[in-house]
Structure 1
Amino acid sequence: MSSSSRATKRSKNLIPMSNMIGTRSISTCLQMPAAPNSPFRVSWQACSTQTSFSFCISPRCQLSLVPHPTPKDNNCTRTFEELRERTRKELLTPANPSASLKFIDSIQRLGIGYHFEEEINMLLERFVDWNAGQDLLATALRFRLLRHNGFPACSDVFNKFKDKDGKFNQSLSKDPLGLLSLYEASYLGTEEEVELVQAMEFTRTHLQKISIPLFSPQDRCQVFQALEIPRHLRMSRLETRNYINEYSMESNRKPTLLDLAKLDFNAVQLVHQKELVEIIRWDLSAMEPLPEYMKICYMALYNTTNDIAYMVLKQHGWSIVPHLKRTWIDMFEAFLAEAKWFNNEYVPSLEEYLVNGVTTGGTYMALVHAFFLMGQGVTKQTVAMMEPYPDLFSFAGKILRLWDDLGTAREEQERGDVASSIQCFMREKGISCEDEGRKQVRQLIRSLWIDLNGELVAPSSMPLSIINASFNLARTAQVVYQHGDDKKGSSVDDQVQALIYKPISLGDMKQDCV
């Protein structure tokens, strides 16, 4: 497949993801469309009864739209379309290659890249054969942007920064921002790319040693964040929220770009808020043969699945009920397998556990739904790749399952749940120390990321949109579960508030670097 076709432009009119139930993080897995400004926001309200208009889930709550004052910022009078057009013109204005790469990087980090995909793809196509010489920062940035966006990029471009013994030159330690750029690029490596494994070890070691005065406060913040979670592993929408804050503090920021990013984030946030309201408005019909709680569950699932299938059929002409139905049947059968393991006190092998756990985690169900709802690259060939599920989904699902276990295994074991991947791994490898088992599981996650990166360069006909959705599912898992029960870093509640409920002020923002 050509690089241009792999970097196919995303649709700006995606079907709302509110129609996907049972997929806790799927709305954050996709690039959402911009929505017009609206004087509404979503709030939580106590809920003690079920009505025909809302459905309560744990924690018991009800979502409703309540008035939200429209921002009155005199400094932001330009319309969204004007800001977008000014940004498009600046993006297409000839500039030196390094500046163009940095501009593209900023646009994508700010979450507005989907407005300019055609222009960005055209520019990146020109960078495929561009050589940045001995500029480490530009070389690594070019590599990362090309690979991230589905264009060919060879890791041997970094060999020019090595000495005669095949090791990276120690003199690179004098270029801290170049090291940071190489460090970020190294996380997109595949199994065969030894250069990037070496680059990761070399840059991490030197970034940890570099004297603080060599960095500005903003650069120092980026280094701390990268050493904790490199950008390739971060949840895209949360990264957008954080980077808007950081970008507003940069001395060379572009006001037009910053205002556009703020307006777009709030517009996308509004889409998420409206969809949360729609998710709980299920039409619940009676199912006489079933107990009351099963009637609710069955009809919610039945109606929602058919609603999704109808929308896709109406918009694209594809009949997808069998595919959606299969994902739910597979998940229920996987839950049944876990129940049998528990009742028989059976501890499966790690591989047996993971194969089943990808299904119970909802990965296949979520990504198959996303594939059809996004509607990009859906052909007879790609539909056939849904059976059996593609490796792309399996790698992402295993990462989700393993992070879930790292975050919740202790609590689940205390209440007597089935053995987690940690216990399976310890039993299989003869490890007695749980901390060592957790360490090994984290290493397995890193190996799975290398496998997942391989999907970016594989000669696959899978569209880039579903590849990105799979990556974002894996990223979301790390954000949700990485700290487990400890209180380090931002809580999931804080992150949900930032993503869904708290709009970005159109005025000045304070820097927040933790």
Structure 2
Amino acid sequence: MGKSAQNMEKVRIMLSQPKHKSNSDSVVMVDALKKLGIDHYFDEEISAILEFSYNNMYETHKNSYVGLTDIALQFKLLREAGYHVSSDIFQRFMDENGEFKQSLTKDVGGLISLHEASFLNMGEEILYTAYNFTRKHLKLSVEHLGQRSGALVRHTLEHPHHMSLKQFNARHYLTHVLSQTTDDASLSMQELARTEFQLNQQFYQDEFKKIKRWWSDLGLARELPFARDQILKWYLWSITALPGPQFSRHRLEMTKVVSFLYIIDDIFDIMGNAEELALFTQTINSWEDSSALPGYMRTCFIALKEVTGGIAQFVEEEHGLNPLNFLRKSWATLCNAFLVESRWFSNKQMPNAEVYLTNGITSSGVHMLMVHLLFLLGHNVTNETVHLIEGNSALVSCTAKILRLWDDLGSAMDENQDGFDGSYVECYMKDNPSCSLDAAKLHTKKLISKSWEELNKEYFFNTSFSPYFKEASLNCARMVSVMYNYDEKEQLPMMNDYIQNLLFGGNN
């Protein structure tokens, strides 16, 4: 038996011990496995622990010795697993004024757990209160903590797990948290995680070489020199949405789709004039003769048809259905939305904020991408799910709204793009002339928070779509802050860190 197999067996035995189910150690262990991204090896054992925890939750919580850390952690894990757990379980930690008790401010571990739990909000007032309370007191605690504990608190505030990329946080958790513990279970989990990181890193590097070769052979970077040439950035969307070796072919096809999304966006924003864009959109809708298009548009359309046909063929071979008409329709819907925007801004028209956002949800490209992903995955592809996604299901539209609004907050434009296509913030200020820029941005951030709450509901409790599809949508929402969080130098430091950790190393 190899070392990894031995470590898996050690962890599996500890998770399966009957006595382990009845104490908080098992829940902490499950949380660690999830944070390290190696929980998929222990699905059966974790399901048993969470079911036991749910069945005994309310009886357990009557005991005064069960503290905030345990309850918040149970709440988080159970809600993530789709159990209907009421946030009212936190009422015991509140005073008669509806505020969390001041005595909790000394419990940094409890504050961290409650803070993490607050991001699983589905519109619950008690979780708003929890977020504000924990954020305030965690910030205040930093100056009184040692270097390691202070760094952990800062990381929690900047990168809460539910809102952040699992692959990014996993390395931090291993290096700065779990590596400080030396019990058998922790050591086995550490070794498993390190092995997983190394295997995945090599796998992703090899996969990226294939993607670069495809992009080079395609030749669009040479044919369309005005468009962005950022194949690594585009690959990050795929690797984030669908991590793991089993989705390698899916990531390759998804990266192709993302690349055309960016290229066509640049055609609309930078290169095409009004007449050309109308003709290009008409051609995308008909999916037929491209002879009337300018050369650069014809090159793009012919390549798009070839790639889309290849994806449809792959889906048919894998899952027994050919989705070409649905894929074509998703591109037409996207280009129709692009054309609406181009006409607004070329004519110096500014729609009202609601009209802009409705169109912007489509022009974000998320809907088009998720249509492709639904068929690529092939799980739960039914008349119901196709109808839902064609109608822009909330699972998809919430992610799209988060992307559109975050992008429109825009602390900087893409470093390689010169086009202009307006923003929700500007439209909102036009609708509300007395509104300041800061107030408009605050309103936009509140809309993003509301979209996250609705996305949470869909992710936790929507049973129409497969777990992989739901995870992909959530992961795309998590990726938004990485892709659009520019610093004062108009750079993306978080994205650079993510690339370094995922593909090229980082300390294990």
| TMscore range, shorter length | 0.7 to 0.9
The structure-2 alpha-carbon separation of the partners of 1:419 and 1:228, relative to structure 1 and needing over 3 Å to count, comes to same
Greater Cα offset, 442-451 or 385-394: 442-451
Shift of 1:261: 1.1
Alignment of 1:36-435 (within 5 A): 78-94=2-18, 95=20, 96-131=22-57, 132-133=60-61, 134-191=66-123, 193-210=124-141, 212-213=143-144, 215=145, 217-247=147-177, 249-252=179-182, 254-280=186-212, 281=214, 289=291, 291-407=294-410, 415=418, 417-431=420-434, 433-435=436-438
Task: Report the equivalent of 1:449.
Answer: 452
State the superposition RMSD in angstroms: 2.9
Q: Equivalents in 2 of 1:295, 1:271: separation in Å?
A: 35
- TM norm structure 1: 0.75
Task: Report the equivalent of 2:467.
Answer: 464
Q: Equivalents in 1 of 2:494, 2:378: separation in Å?
A: 34
Shift of 1:305: 1.9
Q: Equivalents in 2 of 1:179, 1:248: separation in Å?
A: 19
Shift of 1:212: 4.2
C-alpha contact 1:128 1:152 (8 A) present in aligned 2: no
Task: Report the equivalent of 1:35.
Answer: none
Shift of 1:478: 1.0
Shift of 1:178: 0.7
* Deviation digits for residues 137-191 of structure 1 (CA, Å, limit 9, x no counterpart): 0100011111122222211111121223333222212222111111110111112
Gaps of 5+ in 2: 224-288
C-alpha contact 1:150 1:464 (8 A) present in aligned 2: no
The structure-2 alpha-carbon separation of the partners of 1:266 and 1:442, relative to structure 1 and needing over 3 Å to count, comes to same
Shift of 1:410: 5.7
C-alpha contact 1:404 1:481 (8 A) present in aligned 2: yes
* Deviation digits for residues 2-25 of structure 1 (CA, Å, limit 9, x no counterpart): xxxxxxxxxxxxxxxxxxxxxxxx
* Deviation digits for residues 388-414 of structure 1 (CA, Å, limit 9, x no counterpart): 1201111111111122222355679x9
C-alpha contact 1:395 1:451 (8 A) present in aligned 2: yes
**Corresponding letter in the other structure for 1:164:** E
C-alpha contact 2:485 2:494 (8 A) present in aligned 1: no
**Corresponding letter in the other structure for 1:93:** Q
**Corresponding letter in the other structure for 1:402:** L
The structure-2 alpha-carbon separation of the partners of 1:422 and 1:288, relative to structure 1 and needing over 3 Å to count, comes to closer
The structure-2 alpha-carbon separation of the partners of 1:240 and 1:97, relative to structure 1 and needing over 3 Å to count, comes to same
* Deviation digits for residues 460-514 of structure 1 (CA, Å, limit 9, x no counterpart): 42222222211111110012223454579834233223222x1356xxx5xxxxx
Which one scores higher on RCO, CA 8 angstroms, separation ≥ 6? 1
C-alpha contact 1:306 1:321 (8 A) present in aligned 2: yes
C-alpha contact 2:485 2:492 (8 A) present in aligned 1: no
Q: Percent identity between the aligned chains?
A: 34
**Corresponding letter in the other structure for 2:134:** T
Q: Equivalents in 1 of 2:94, 2:350: separation in Å?
A: 48
Q: How many residues align?
A: 427
Shift of 1:78: 4.5
**Corresponding letter in the other structure for 2:118:** S
**Corresponding letter in the other structure for 2:7:** L
Which protein is richer in helix relative to its size?
2
* Deviation digits for residues 215-264 of structure 1 (CA, Å, limit 9, x no counterpart): 45433222112222322111222122322322453234622211211221
The structure-2 alpha-carbon separation of the partners of 1:117 and 1:318, relative to structure 1 and needing over 3 Å to count, comes to farther
Q: Equivalents in 1 of 2:85, 2:175: separation in Å?
A: 31
The structure-2 alpha-carbon separation of the partners of 1:366 and 1:415, relative to structure 1 and needing over 3 Å to count, comes to closer
- TM norm structure 2: 0.76
SS of 2:443 mapped into structure 1: helix
Shift of 1:292: 4.4
* Deviation digits for residues 435-466 of structure 1 (CA, Å, limit 9, x no counterpart): 33323322221222122122244454222222
Q: Equivalents in 1 of 2:418, 2:296: separation in Å?
A: 23
SS of 2:355 mapped into structure 1: helix
C-alpha contact 2:360 2:404 (8 A) present in aligned 1: yes
Gaps of 5+ in 1: 1-76, 510-514
Q: Equivalents in 1 of 2:148, 2:506: separation in Å?
A: 20
Q: Equivalents in 2 of 1:369, 1:217: separation in Å?
A: 46
Greater Cα offset, 477-486 or 257-266: 477-486
SS of 1:386 mapped into structure 2: helix
Q: Equivalents in 1 of 2:290, 2:329: separation in Å?
A: 24
Shift of 1:81: 3.7
Task: Report the equivalent of 2:227.
Answer: none
